[in-house]
Amino acid sequence: MKLLRHGPKGQEKPGLLDAAGRVRDLSAHVTDIAGAALLPDSLARLRALDPDSLPLVPGMPQQDLRLGPCVGGVGKFIAIGLNYADHAAETGAKIPSEPVVFNKWTSCISGPDDDVILPRGSVKTDWEVELGIVIGTGGTYIDEAEALSHVAGYCVVNDVSEREWQAERGGTWDKGKGFDTFGPIGPWLVTPDEAGDIGNLGLWLDLDGQRRQTGSTATMIFGVAHIIAYLSQFLSLQPGDVITTGTPPGVGLGQKPPVFLRGGEVMRLGVEGLGVQTQRVVKS
């Protein structure tokens, strides 16, 4: 299934994408694509529905029908840094021996095609296409062999980053990662049965039509199961938590010379089988 949230900001309703690429409303069956709706029993009930029996939502998704973040009520938005060896190399960083963990504030979450707003005075805002994990069954001390059974689905994430605040203003990375609009999620949550080989998905990002990032989840240093098991050793994962898993090479910081967002650009990015995002960059 491809689950989504459609409608104006703050008023999104739950839905799913049918075989014709149209949105079907799920409001009669779940209140939101969030929390308990992401548990296995709930997903099984939604999967059993006939999409043609559900109300058709007017408009085409990502054209004249806005999609919101594909998950609502996110409790934790956890990120993994330097998780592609070639990306670590382009930034001059050492290959980590354990996952590098930081937070993106949940207030940064936005729809897949909403504008990305540059922070005031920003001169080093950057892009990062990533594979996102959405937790279904929560837990602590999760065994790596069982970790994938805790996944409700996968999605595209743009881990937008302000590099000056991330690396030059003291403290941890979190400050540069959590500005409002710095966490586009979606367009849809793709359940594991439709997500393909999660360990070998292509990722890409274009800036104003020019390819900047190309990569594959096959080159991740720490895979999805390892990340889930690792995080669960020191925090409880809960339904609806989102984990974004790192970016392949081609970020602005790694260009020679570096290239950063100034306003007016259009970012278009995607993960194989999980959909595409398009964001216009605007000055605050």
pLDDT in the model for residue 51:
97
How far CA 83 is from CA of 154, 161, 222, 238, in Å, comes to 17, 15, 6, 23
The answer to whether domain 67-283 has CATH 3.90.850.10 is yes
Q: Are 62 and 113 in contact (CB under 8 A)?
A: yes
pLDDT digits (tens, 9 = 90+) for 87-116: 777 777 788 999 999 999 999 999 999 999
How far CA 227 is from CA of 125, 145, 245, in Å, comes to 26, 12, 8
- Could you list the pLDDT tens digit for every one of the 284 residues in the chain? 999 999 999 999 999 999 999 999 999 999 999 999 999 999 999 999 999 999 999 999 999 999 999 999 999 999 999 899 877 777 777 889 999 999 999 999 999 999 999 999 999 999 999 999 999 999 999 999 999 999 999 999 999 999 999 989 888 889 999 999 999 999 999 999 999 999 999 999 999 999 999 999 999 999 999 999 999 999 999 999 999 999 999 999 999 999 999 999 999 999 999 999 999 999 98
pLDDT in the model for residue 90:
76
How far apart, in Å, do the first and last CA atoms of the chain sit?
36
Burial of 39 (C-beta count, 10 Å sphere; 0-12/13-18/19+): middle
Domain limits, the chain: 67-283
